[in-house]
């Protein structure tokens, strides 16, 4: 992190880009730019420059946010036996500064707003719109939230995933009793836009799983009655 220790009004402050500091009132108006040239220390990652007493060649550019008054401080003076009781209040005036940039003196400096605008302009717009994963049979809001947090935001991304990887994401999110095998098959159809096939597949699923084949019903005899035993066939009589 890049920061500097600056001096203003005989006091020292830590200045960090993008953050504000409140110094004793300065003769400036909101919106003005200000160079804090009394830099006592410069730090940039693991590199430090300590001034003797100042670090030469560096300055801090700040913009004036506002002039304001601090909280009221009460003071009370009492002298016994003299009936002296003095009660006073005081509110110190301050100037709030936004640290825009820290760098070498004389170099052209860009404000924080200009840096943000450049970063936004140079950032490629490769982000695709997220799909509604809840349309997948078996995926609820909590599961969808876990998948999105893991970077799976579209049907195509889910279709290319492996069931073991999905199961690992669910386990880490504390979600149990889930079966992601059927989700991937649904996602493949949804990614292609085959919604008819998607609906046919969902009709065969129960909570995202393939329905188990129905077992044949066991024939049961009436209560308390045993099934009748088959009598052996009578042997034919021998001829005399």
Residues in the chain where the model's pLDDT stays below 50 = 124-127
pLDDT digits 0-9 by tens, 8-51: 989 999 999 889 999 999 999 999 999 888 999 988 888 888 98
d(CA 91, CA 201): 73
Task: Decide: 209 and 182 in contact? Cβ < 8 Å.
Answer: yes
Strand, coil or helix: 230: coil
How far, in whole angstroms, is CA 145 from its chain's centroid? Answer: 12
Quick: pLDDT tens for 121-139. Answer: 655 444 456 788 888 887 8
Query: Is 0.75 surpassed by the pTM of this model?
Result: no
Establish whether the linkage from the previous residue to 53 is cis, with ω within 30° of 0: yes
| Cα–Cα–Cα angle for 24, 16, 18, rounded to 5 degrees | 95
């Amino acid at each position: 992190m890049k920061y500097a220790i600056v001096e203003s009004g005989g006091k020292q402050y830590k200045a960090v880009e993008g953050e504000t500091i409140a110094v004793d009132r300065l003769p400036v108006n909101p919106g003005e730019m200000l160079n804090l040239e009394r830099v006592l220390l410069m730090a940039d990652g693991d590199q430090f420059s300590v001034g003797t007493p100042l670090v030469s060649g560096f300055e801090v550019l700040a913009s004036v946010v506002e002039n304001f008054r601090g909280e009221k401080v009460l003071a009370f003076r009492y002298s016994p036996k003299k009936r002296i009781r003095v009660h006073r209040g005081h509110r110190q005036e301050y100037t709030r500064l936004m640290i825009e940039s820290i760098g070498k003196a004389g170099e052209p400096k860009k404000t924080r707003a200009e840096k943000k605008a450049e970063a936004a302009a140079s950032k490629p717009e490769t982000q695709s719109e997220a799909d509604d994963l809840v349309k997948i049979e078996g995926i609820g809001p909590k599961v969808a939230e876990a998948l999105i947090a893991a970077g799976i935001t579209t049907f195509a991304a889910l279709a290319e995933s492996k069931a073991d990887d999905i199961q690992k994401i669910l386990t880490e999110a504390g979600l149990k009793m889930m079966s992601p095998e059927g989700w991937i098959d649904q996602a493949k159809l949804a990614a292609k836009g085959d919604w008819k096939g998607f609906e046919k597949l969902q009709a065969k699923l129960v909570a995202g799983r393939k329905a188990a084949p129905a077992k044949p019903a066991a024939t049961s005899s009436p209560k308390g009655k045993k099934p009748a035993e088959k009598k052996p066939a009578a042997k034919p009589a021998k001829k005399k």
